[in-house]
Structure 1
Amino acid sequence: MSTEVSQVRRSDARDNRARILAVARAAFAADGLEVPIREIARRAQVGPATVYRHFPTKEALLGEAFAEQMALCSTVVEEGLAAEDPWRGFSLVVEKMMEQHALDRGFSRAFLARLPPSVTYFTEDRDHALRLVLELVRRAKDAGALRPDFVVEDLVLALMANEGIRAESPQARVAASRRLAALMLQSFQANPVAAPLPPAARLPLSVR
């Protein structure tokens, strides 16, 4: 009987942890990173003590909530570095990062936030991804494809603008993000070549 009880408790603990993470992701996306632990506990239908039992600090919860997305972001940058054409690799990273951020505003806010050093397993991965982006930038400049005055902060500006997209559905956010990425990439080129843009998405201020 004690073994069965122990198994049930472990199962309940896993369920609680998964629910807390899901609620935290949704809360950070909807209301920003300032959502208090007590509110996350209320939405997850557990007590604050249960949240702290799984995540000793809010920073630990934040890092765990977006660990998978951060790993995907690093994978995207590595894929860009593997491309033979430096400009194509750079473009792929910009397009995919902006799409990823459009799909998950909570991750976008965390990525762009000035997080405390204690969120090591998120900030270290983010810094690693940005260092890889710098290598992409160097290659694209050496190839004469990327304008020489481009700096990585210009990509951060594009991501910040992308995070501000407001649309009625995830599909519309992605569509708007793809068009914004195309506009940004044309502005980043050393010798811009006019090309058709992806279709426009209907946004709150669209002309009807």
Structure 2
Amino acid sequence: MTSFDSRRISSIHHDLHQHLPSESVLRTKALESLLVEKGLIDPAAMDAWIEMYRDEIGPKRGAKVVARAWREPSFKRALLENATAAIEQFGFAGHGTGHLQAVENTSEIHNLVVCTLCSCYPFSILGIPPAWYKSNEYRARAVREPRAVLSEFGVEIPPTVEVRVWDSTSERRYLVIPQQPNGVESWSEEQLAELVSRNSMIGTQRDLSPTRRAA
């Protein structure tokens, strides 16, 4: 006689649905499929734009700015004084950088960026914001308990280091200049830029040492 185990069936059902895309992803895919079917968009063009924002217009731009700041003290001073003007030499001015402020991580200070009201973000130098940056949980908790949030990203800040939280708005957006790791003083800007991650420029990563990156 066949038996029915409700707990097992429920477990299987839950496991199957855990692997399904989120509702928002399914809606986006459905809309994209409809637009492609009607000939309104080209899938190859869509993929090219996403790739460009992710890899070129995205965090690689910000990484170049940080690498220049590490290599040239005069540029770092200019970046901290007026980030919007400083990045003009790269040709990176664009959406979200009109009121850009750079803040620097040091041995005594760690900076964390959040947008408590929405998801203001310097798109032209950091690309597409990660989903967690736009989540209600991050936006609320980053202000109330920044050390706990950083810990969940694997960043343990010693009590001797001050954590400063910067609330991004449409009038002011932020770029974190990560602390330069030891042992890379002779590296080229291109090599240094490879160390810089998107999360480090938001403040949810601190250690950029080459050994940690290799690991």
Tell me if both proteins adopt one fold, taking TM over 0.5 as the criterion.
Answer: no
| Relative contact order, higher structure (CA 8 A, sep 6+) | 2
The two structures have a TM-score, normalised by structure 1, of: 0.29
User: Highest Rg: 1 or 2?
Assistant: 2
The two structures have a TM-score, normalised by structure 2, of: 0.29
Q: Which has the higher helix share?
A: 1
